[in-house]
Amino acid sequence: MSSSYLPATTDSIAWALEAKTPSEAISILYRVLQNPSSAPDAVRIKEQAITNLSDLLRQENRAEELKSLLAQLRPFFALIPKAKTAKIVRGIIDDVAKIPGTSDLQISLCKEVVQWTRAEKRTFLRQRVEAKLAGLLMENKEYSEALNLLSGLIKEVRRLDDKLLLVDIDLLESKLHFSLRNLPKAKASLTAARTAANAIYVPPAQQGNIDLQSGILHAEEKDYKTAYSYFFEAFEAFNALEDPRAVFSLKYMLLCKIMVSQADDVAGIISSKAGLQYVGPELDAMKAVADAHAKRSLKLFEIALRDFKAQLEEDPIVHRHLSSLYDTLLEQNLCRLIEPFSRVEIAHIAELIELPVDHVEKKLSQMILDKKFAGTLDQGAGCLVIFDDPKTDAIYPTTLETISNIGKVVDSLYVRSAKIMV
């Protein structure tokens, strides 16, 4: 990089655009930024140079240089309005976020920017960077630090009544509580986000985020029909914006259909006009699960989980619901298989259901403890002994009810006799 600066003019910008290599363009733009001129036209050209330079560094995956650029620009930020500074800083942070594998760098960058904004008393920018930092900490599973940061930020933003930022923070807090499995607080934060959103215009992408989180929370409560409607709203919002999150909304819609035993509808949704745009591994995974559920086949279910591990087991929302579905399906199949027997070898059941013997034995013992059926495991013989369901004798509850009614009659007669005596 040459130490001599270039004039901050449109010709310099054009020269950078015409450069043969990205490295050459980056060098030219750095030299434009080194120009000491603070004239209005020069400042405007420098702003354009910063935008172009940031884009080029992102394309070249030079995250460390983007971080250094932000530190180098601090004297320049004193020359431009605070709103423009906030736009540039947030833009560079977003560019770093687009470079894969930079989560730790993003966290350290945000912490540096927060310290600088505190020193410069740039409250508007600090609050937004802190919200971004809390999101990064949550993705990094540093939940306690993220929660501490958000709790102080929420109080501050509520005092200022910045509704748009409040929606972002409340929604983030809801996701954080959900990650910590604190469902009541997650719902409370989501309600607060919806209340703030109703008072202002919310961009479609943010509304889609709110609907997506609503669907996730309703699905967690096993209210799959309501969850489906929220996922559908989120899908429509993201689809209109061509947002990559649309495919996840569609995936969760299909999950809801499977969970309410409407697996036959999955193929129709995938083959619809909207669904065909997102055909890929995510939808193929849900189709495989739907086929396994429709055929009540545990073997097909396990094949789907193995073939689409990234799409099913590594997605915590899908994995949680499919684990529940798998257990239900396994119990139904086992109950159906053992029904004709009073004594049966565990190996025979395992052969019929096409699962390992130790897996079947473990599940049968769990079902006996949960009182799904009456029986015992004879481990010496490797057999399952099934008992007849004990018939409940109706005489005991009837006798208790009769005694209770006699007691009421005696009490009533005592009250009446007491009144006569008076």
pLDDT digits (tens, 9 = 90+) for 114-170: 999 999 999 999 999 999 999 999 988 898 899 999 988 998 988 888 888 999 999
* pLDDT at site 422: 62
* pLDDT at site 344: 85
* pLDDT at site 413: 87
Give the pairing of strands 343-345 and 375-378. Answer: unpaired
E strands in 365-406: 375-378, 383-386
* pLDDT at site 390: 65
* DSSP bridge partners of 377: 384
Token reading at 253: 């819609």
pLDDT tens digits for 77-105? 888 898 899 999 999 999 999 898 888 99
* pLDDT at site 92: 92
> Class for domain 297-312+323-391, per CATH?
mainly alpha
> Measured between alpha carbons, how far is 266 from 222 in angstroms, rounded to an integer?
19
Long-range contacts from 377-384, C-beta under 8 angstroms, 24+ separation: 377/346, 382/345, 382/346, 382/347, 383/343, 383/344, 383/345, 383/346, 384/338, 384/341, 384/343, 384/344, 384/345, 384/346, 384/349
Domain boundaries, the chain: 1-97, 223-254+268-282, 297-312+323-391, 392-421
pTM for the whole structure: 0.77
Give the CA count within 13 Å in the CB-facing half-sphere of 393: 4
Low-confidence ranges of the chain (pLDDT < 70): 1-3, 389-393, 422
Burial of 345 (0-12, 13-18, 19+ CB in 10 A): middle
* pLDDT at site 187: 94
- Residue pair 173/189 in contact (Cβ under 8 Å)? The answer is yes
What residues contact residue 9 under an 8 Å CB cut-off, 6+ apart?
41, 45
> Measured between alpha carbons, how far is 332 from 118 in angstroms, rounded to an integer?
60
